[in-house]
Structure 1
Amino acid sequence: MGSCFSARIKAESPLHNGANSRYGSKNGEEMGGSSSRISSMSMPRTEGEILQSSNLKSFNFSELRTATRNFRPDSVLGEGGFGCVFKGWIDENSLTAAKPGTGLVIAVKRLNQEGFQGHQEWLAEINYLGQLLHPNLVKLIGYCLEDDHRLLVYEFMPKGSLENHLFRRNSYFQPLSWNLRMKVALGAAKGLAFLHSNEAKVIYRDFKTSNILLDSNYNAKLSDFGLAKDGPTGDKSHVSTRVMGTYGYAAPEYMATGHLTARSDVYSFGVVLLEMLTGKRAMDKNRPSREQSLVDWAKPYLTSKRKILHVMDSRIESQYTLDAALKAAYLALQCLSIEPKLRPNMNAVVKALEQLQDSGGDHKGAPRNSSVLNSHQHSRNARKHHTKNANDLGNGNTISYPRPAASPLST
């Protein structure tokens, strides 16, 4: 399998730096409507209960080997710390292996089993995605547990990850327009809002651009539930847990105390929204020292009409109004509040993004406040060469799909 199975789990390392991800499908209506479903209000706990209660197909290893053409290297969609993801085909009705190019396209995550951590996160994916159904969550079709083989079978997401579209510099991934960025932000927000709802009560814990997958119409779906946790119950205000996730996205109070709440996810959403506005990664050691942390660098610019355009992605500078940019930046700033109680809940974030879509840029890409934008054009052009070098992280890595489970928080 080549490099796909050379990576090893680093269980001692509690934080990781953003890993590979890609995947996608159909969008739906409002959260919590008929298109949303939870099979059981109380999540099962033992492995046997999880596997038996999930609404998933149990695949034989031989079926998936046939569906992926024996896990051929040219079927690899991406790779991560826990193994590779392969493209495959199954019959839409029987869910049995089909000839390449026929039937339903799938993505098969094959875990490189190196320890207990990987198995637990594989099981967590089944636990949550086997019971949660929502237009903005990636669909898990089935799994395989046979001898030492642990695999997960997802719907195929043809546009890949948000990470690839924001940060990769090649002909396949064109910069997302302002309107598409706001559409993706709204879809991802709806997915988080559903997870936080009284119906689900789940904390995602690893919200980042690589885990937001896009279908052929750029509808967003959250993937990779290996780190998800049940939210607090009763009169508890938080869940105490080992600090896991990704540097740059994890909320500061969670990193400091291990106290996990839904507002921890809201902070991570703020980071991702900021990445979408700026076109810069949350953490980048290739940038000057004061700019390596996107949040620390960008915050002072986010509330100023005079300064906001200095941090906006230069690739979309003619596609939005100044008012829309300020509203989106202020929403990101609210989500990034150091005090968790000051952050909005995800329902409020969804409402703000819906209003922003209604009043943002026009569909032709020309800003209504073009004179205001043009007044900053010269200073932005003077910065373009430096910005391009600082942002150009498209280093030819493998196009990535959902990580085969998430490792602990590491650098």
Structure 2
Amino acid sequence: MSCISCLAFRQKKLDNSVEEKDNLHLKEKIGGENSSGASSFTFYELSLATKGFKCANLIGEGGFGKVYKGHLSKGQASQIIYIKVVAIKQLNLDGQQGSHEFVTEVLMLSLFHHSNLVKLIGYCSEGNQRLLVYEYMPKRSLEHHLFEPEKSKQLSWNVRMKIAVGAARGLEYLQCKAYPPVIYRDLKSANILLDHDFNPKLSDFGLAKLGPVGDNTHVSTRVMGTYGYCAPEYAMSGKLTLKSDIYSFGVVLLELITGHKALDLTRKSGHQNLVAWFRPYFNNKRMYAQVVDSRLEGNYPPRSLNHAIAITAMCLQEDANRRPLINDIVVALEYIASKSIRELNKRLESKPETNPN
């Protein structure tokens, strides 16, 4: 039994909680494996693709499990038709919750398709194994580039704004184009993957929830996600809304601007929580140049920086109702990104040419 309908049936046996109803709703909308576009793989096939899950192929690791680079081939040994490079996530199944996250991710990514959402190629649910097969993202995660010293210089101001725009478009699709709308619930730099041109794609939908519809204003659920990114009202009450993701997006914007982690226990007291540390600076433009990521070496348009921080401040409003809609965020960020390109190009053109003699 490996079809999507069977996966949902297994989940029903494991968990009769309120969260299981979301998966049943999704299963009804998909209507079977053929409409999902995701293929079913055997554990043997994925073991071959990763050379036995060899350490040399390990490209990521977290609480969810390990991610390996793999090569899927089609054809006989004497005549390989093609080889596809993929990322294979082997989940750590922690009881019912691990199985729930696996089913949720398969169903979510089977339903929803967008250029800024990572593509699910297939899955494996053989025995007690739970694996997911994604398109391979060669630049890995935004977290990797922001916080690995040897990588950070690749993230120019224009690239950072490009990533912000793409991530916002992915979120806009989930909130405005999908029905029912989807609350991502785990938006963070580690879950924003980058292709070879630094185009971002949202990944890891195991914690995603169907959002409120009709007269409902929120979804009640136990608090999940990553500390430092969770909206305060959700962390305190468990009431989840679309605006909860807007807060998390604001934290990612702040990481892009400052180059600091949402939560960094290696920093001194008062600086460890990024939002709490930066909040006093939001209304002090004279301090912006001192808190922007020093690795940018001043190569950013000051007006674009001001606008980016203004958007970030709105996203991080403690009152969820005062946070902007994702549509407005996309429009504002697209304007900043295009303006930044023009301003930086003008700056380069105005520089005097150096005479090598």
TM range (shorter): 0.7 to 0.9
- One-letter amino acid of the counterpart of residue 193, structure 1: E
Among candidates 97, 103, 122, match of residue 102 of structure 2: 122
Query: Which residue of structure 1 lines up, in the alignment, with residue 327 of structure 2?
Result: 347
Q: 2:302, 2:270 → 1: CA distance?
A: 26
* 1:22-41 equivalence runs, <5 A: none
Among residues 177, 188, 191, which one is paired with 2:170 in the alignment? 191
- Structure 1 distance, partners of 2:27, 2:336, is 39
Q: Is the 8 A contact 1:322 1:369 kept in 2?
A: no
For structure 2, the residue ranges without an aligned partner over 5 or more in a row are 1-24, 352-357
Instruction: Structure 1: state its 5+ residue gaps.
Output: 1-41, 371-411
1:114 shift after superposition: 3.5
In structure 2, how many angstroms separate the alpha carbons of the residues matched to 1:254 and 1:356?
Answer: 30
Tell me whether 79-88 or 252-261 shows the greater mean CA deviation.
79-88
Q: 1:96, CA displacement in angstroms?
A: 9.5
- Name the counterpart of 2:26: 43
Q: 1:199 to 1:327 in 2, by over 3 A?
A: same
Q: What is the Cα deviation at residue 67 of structure 1?
A: 1.4
Q: Which residue type is aligned with residue 62 of structure 1?
A: Y
TM-score, normalised with respect to structure 1 = 0.74
The answer to whether residue 142 in structure 2 is matched with residue 133 in structure 1 is no
Alignment of 1:5-404 (within 5 A): 43-44=26-27, 54-91=36-73, 103-170=83-150, 174-200=153-179, 201-360=181-340, 362-364=343-345, 366=347
Q: Is the 8 A contact 2:263 2:273 kept in 1?
A: yes
**Alpha carbons of structure 1 residues 66 and 211: separation in structure 2 relative to 1, 3 Å:** same
Tell me the distance in 1 between the aligned counterparts of 2:63 and 2:103: 17
Shift of 1:197: 0.9
Shift of 1:306: 1.0
Aligned residues: 325
Cα distance in 1 for residues equivalent to 2:91 and 2:84:
22
Secondary structure at 2:27's aligned position in 1? Answer: coil
Show CA shifts across 1:216-254 (max 9, x none). 000000000010000012210000000000111000000
Q: Percent identity?
A: 48
- After superposition, what is the alpha-carbon deviation per residue over 1:290-340, rounded to whole angstroms, capped at 9, x for unaligned? 111111111221233311111100111422121111000000000001111
Higher helix fraction (1 or 2): 2
| Change in 2 beyond 3 A, CA 1:114/1:242 | closer
SS state of the match for residue 269, structure 1?
A: helix
Task: Supply the RMSD in Å over aligned alpha carbons.
Answer: 2.7
Amino acid corresponding to residue 247 of structure 1 in structure 2 = Y
CA contact (8 A) 2:93 2:130 kept: yes
Deviations 1:331-370 (A, max 9, x none): 0000001111111111110000011012125345948999
User: What is the distance in 1 between the residues matched to 2:340 and 2:75?
Assistant: 43
Question: What one-letter code is carried by the residue in structure 1 that aligns with 2:58?
Answer: V
Q: How far, CA to CA, are the matches of 1:277 and 1:353 in structure 2?
A: 13
User: Cα–Cα, structure 1 residues 359 and 141, in superposed 2: closer, same or farther, change >3 Å?
Assistant: same
Cα-to-partner distance string for 1:160-218 (whole Å, 9 max, x where unaligned)? 10001101123x55441000000000000000000001434100000000000000000
Residues 1:322 and 1:97: Cα distance change in structure 2 (over 3 Å): farther
Task: Give the conservation status (yes or no) of the 8 Å contact 1:248–1:293.
Answer: yes
8 Å CA contact 2:123, 2:131 repeated in 1: yes
2:26 counterpart letter in structure 1: M
1:194 maps to amino acid? Y
TM-score of the aligned structures, taking structure 2 as reference length: 0.84
Contact 2:153–2:295 under 8 Å retained in 1: no
